[in-house]
Amino acid sequence: MKRFKLYYDKEKEEAWLNEMSREGWALSGFFLGFYTFEPCEPGAYSYQIDMPQMPKGFGMQHKAMREYIDFVESTGAECVCVWGFYAIFRKQASQGEFRLYTDTESKIRQWQRIRAVFLLFFIWSIAACLINTHNFISDGQGFPYGPVGGAMCLALGMLYFILLVFFVMVIRFSLKIRRLKQEEGSR
C-alpha cells in the first residue's frame, strides 16, 4: 500500500507511523512524501525518525551516516530507509519502548539540527522570492500583460507560501527548543 503525506514535524510523523503499525501496516520505504507499507502483525513495530549530526567535509556524510545506522542497529533497531537528512528506524515493539533520545539535552540538540535545516531553506526561499519578485516587476509582466503575468503571479504566490511554511516551522522548532530548555532548567 502507498500513502502520500507531507510532514514537517517528526513527532507527528512518528505518531502516524506508529499508528499505521498498530493498524497492521509496516513502513517499507519512503520517497518524496510517498510512504510504502506492507502488512504486518498489528503493533509489531515502533518507529523513530532522526536527523543525526553529520561531520563537515567532502564525502564524510555517507561514511558517518553508515556508522550511525550501524550503531543504532546494534541496539536491535532496523533502518527502514534514509532520505535526505533523515533516517527512519523501527524496532520490534515486543522489545520494549524505542527512543533514540531520552535526555533533554540530546533532544534539544536534535531540534536545533532540524531547525537549522529549515532555517537554511527559509533563507533560500527569501532569496528566491526576492529575485523572482524583482524579475517580475522589472519585466513588466503583471496582470495587465496577459497569461504570462498571471502564471508569474501564481508562481510567486507559491514561492511566498513556501517561504511562510518554512518561517512557521522555524518558529515552531524554536518554541520546542525553548520549552525543552525551560523543562531542563526547572529540574
**Residue 166 class from Cβ within 10 Å (0-12 exposed, 13-18 middle, 19+ buried)?**
buried
Number of H helices, E strands in the chain: 4, 6
Residues 148 and 114 in one domain: yes
**pLDDT attached to residue 34:** 94
**pLDDT attached to residue 55:** 56
Residues 109 and 90 in one domain: no
Residues 75 and 115 in one domain: no
**Tens digit of each residue's pLDDT (9 = 90 or more) over 138-160:** 765 555 555 566 777 788 888 89
Residues 85 and 131 in one domain: no
**pLDDT attached to residue 144:** 54
**Which residues, listed in sequence order, are joined to residue 34 by a DSSP beta bridge?**
4, 31
Residues 16 and 44 in one domain: yes
Query: What is the domain count for the chain?
Result: 2
Residue with cell 533523515: 86
Residues 83 and 111 in one domain: no
- Give the domain range for residue 52: 2-95
Residues 91 and 120 in one domain: no
- Boundary (domain end) residue, out of 68, 95, 122: 95
Q: What is the rounded average pLDDT of the residues 51-68?
A: 69
The structure's pTM equals 0.76
**Tens digit of each residue's pLDDT (9 = 90 or more) over 85-140:** 788 999 999 998 899 988 899 999 999 988 998 899 899 999 988 888 877 777 65
**Tens digit of each residue's pLDDT (9 = 90 or more) over 166-180:** 999 999 999 999 999
**pLDDT attached to residue 15:** 95
Residues 18 and 66 in one domain: yes
| Residues 94 and 125: beta-carbon distance below 8 Å | no
What cell does 86 get? 533523515
Nearest to 8 by CA among 45, 51, 43: 51
Give CA–CA dist 49/11, Å, rounded: 8
**pLDDT cut 70: percent of the chain above it:** 89
Residues 79 and 8 in one domain: yes
Ramachandran bin of 140, using left for φ above 0, alpha for ψ from -120 to 50, beta for the remaining angles: left
